[in-house]
Structures are given as C-alpha cells and as structure tokens.
Chain A
Amino acid sequence: MEKKLLRLTVNGEYHELYIKPKKLLVEVLRDELGLTGTKRACDTASCGACTVLLNRVAVKSCSILAMQTDGAEVITVEGLANGAKLSPLQRAFLDYGAYQCGFCTAGMLMTATGLLNENPTPTKEEIKEGIQGNICRCTGYNSIIRAIKAVAEGKYKEEE
C-alpha cells in the first residue's frame, strides 16, 4: 500500500513522515516518533488514555486517522514541561496524588490542559464533565478533580 506524506508539528518540532494511510495518530506518535507517553487502552474511543492536543483542543488520538491531521500542531504529555519546569497541572497532579499506576495520567493531563485552555476557571461540575471521557481505574477521580480545581483557582502559576 502506497505511503503518504504527513506533515506534523509535535511539541514544537516539525516532522515529515511517510506513513500508510491507515495509521492512526496514536500509532504515528508512539511507533514512528517514539513518544510513548501517550497510551492506548481500549480501541473503542472509550478510555481517553490516548488524549492529545490537536490544534489546542483535546482529541482521542486512537480514533483519528493520522492523515487527517496533516499540517496540524500536536502537543503530547512530553510537551507539557519546559525543561525542569513542570506545567501547573503536572505540579498539581504531584501534590494531590492525582495519579497512581500512571497509565491514564498522560490522557488526563492532556484532557485537563485542553479544558483549561478553553475555560481557565471551570467549576467542579465542569471539571467532571471535562474528564468524563477518561477512565482512571486507580484514583476514583476525586484527587484528579481536586488537582485541576487547584490550578483553576490559580494556586499554580506557570514557572518563569
């Protein structure tokens, strides 16, 4: 099957890749670019572990054809921190123990980042709605909700 050119900017780096058209965005990120922070856990767009930011909004990269993202900007969990400077959400997740096994964490962080991008001050209910598409089997969500709320309330500033 003929491979196609895909131009993609991931975490600020521009890539030109030749891929099979059937490749999903998550497969390109994990297998072609080696960004394994993004996980896969369901194949039915149910769990949200594969969530990344596509042109600043959260999407499930297991249910998007990579070819459809040609020319787009993708941010993955690897793109959240700047050197040693963790993003406010990353720091909040640490402080509130908003992760356990860590397998859903990348998806949670990206979903929350997308949520705060559009709505920097969500209510608790809006936060719950925001992460409703993400399954966490360890934490029972409440610590994640507390962490996001703390960032929304301005307890964590971007590190200069």
Chain B
Amino acid sequence: MGPLLPNDIIPFEWSSIIAIVIGIFFGFILESSGFSSSRKLAGVFYGYDFAVLKVFFTAALVSLIGLLYMDYLGYVDMSSLYVHPTYLWAAIIGGAIMGIGFVAGGFCPGTSLCAVAIGKIDAIVYVIGIMVGVFIFSELYSVFEPIYTGYFYGNITLVDSLGINPYWFVFLFTIAAVIIFVLVDMIRKRVKKVFY
C-alpha cells in the first residue's frame, strides 16, 4: 500500500498526532540507549564507548533491510519515499562543520533534545547554540547561498549514483558492519576505561 499518508489511506489530519507518537518512541529509544549523556556520545571518538556507532549502524541496517523486503513484497513503494537531496559540496562542508560541532558540543540535535528533557543544562545551552547557528546561517544566507544551492544532483540514491544493485550493497554493508562491530570491541578493550 506504500506510504500510507501520502496515499491518503490515513487522512492527512492524523499526521501531527502520528508525528508526536513517533517522536515519543524516538525520544524513548534514544534516551534509554544512553544518548542523553554527552560523554557516552563522545565515547565513539575516544574509543571508550562505541554505543553511537553500534546504534547508528544497526538502525540504518535494520531499516534498510526492512524497507527493501517490504518494497520487494509490495507493501511499500520505495520510489515514493522522501529521499534526502544530494547537494554535494553542501553535504561535505555542512557535514564537516557538524562534525566539529559534534566533537566540541558532544550532542546532535536529536540527542540534545533528549538531554534537555532530563534536565541537562549543557544540553539546553547546546540547543540555544543551535538556534544561534541557524540564525547566523539565515542572516548570512547570501554568503552560503552558492554552497547551499550548488552542485545539486537531485534526490538520487546510491543505485543511481553508483549504479549498484541495492541488495548486494546491503549484503556487503551488513558484513562490513559486523566486522566493524568486532573491531570496535577490540579497540574498546585496549583503550583506558573512562567512568562517566
């Protein structure tokens, strides 16, 4: 039946209620897997706790495998799902700035909201920082405009850009992920334990 809301199987008024419900689950999962503590998040860069990597890759893989099976069985039509647009240099430069922000601040927007919910003051400051960052971007929009709109390759998927078979890609990606998980555990054993 494909995505239910755009196909009007569920009337559009429900979308905000569904958003809240999805948000509740999202917040619950993030918080209980420990993403509300910035030190656990930063552990992925310093080797003492690779929770972020594990959660991130498992979530991506499970959703990818699930969606591909549903697409094969005809329950969802992958071509009508929203694909994040590919602005090449915007993604690289934006990603670089976000990377530094991640290491410095210790949060990403989703996890900072979880931390705000349980009363972390640094998270609140972080969220205000994000708002200031957004404000700066919009004020200096003319400066960022060429990057922001340049090198647009459309909402393409890896299948279009690399011409690979999605099933094979997922299979190899899963094997790579398992290898990374094993390596990551070895690294964690060798790195000095940090109690947080």
Q: Do A and B bind each other?
A: no
A→B interface (CB under 8 Å): none
Residues of B within 8 A of A (CB): none
